[in-house]
Structure 1
Amino acid sequence: MIVHRSGTVALIGGADVPSEVMRLALSLGERTIAADGGAATALAYGVVPEAVIGDFDSISDEVRTALPKSVLHPVTEQDSTDFEKCISRIDAALIVGAGFSGARVDHQLAVCNVLVRWPARRCVLIGADDAIFLAPPTMALDLPQGCRVSLFPMGAVEGRSDGLNWPIDGLTLTPDGQIGTSNFAVGPVNLTVTTPKLLVILPVEHLGQVADMLLSNPARWP
Structure 2
Amino acid sequence: MIQLPQALLWDHNSHYHPWLLRQVPQRSARALDVGCGTGAFARQLAARVEHVDAVDVSAEMVEAAKGASNPPNIRWARADLLDPELALDPEGYDVVTAISSLHHMPLRPALTKLAELVRPGGTLAVVGHYRKETAVDFALDAVTLPANAAVGVCKAARGRAGKPHDDGMPVKDPVDTLVDIRAAAAELLPGAAVRRRLFWRVTLHWRKPKGS
Task: Report the TM-score when normalising by structure 2.
Answer: 0.40
Between structures 1 and 2, the one with greater strand share: 1
Task: Report the TM-score when normalising by structure 1.
Answer: 0.39
Higher relative contact order (CA 8 A, sep 6+): 2
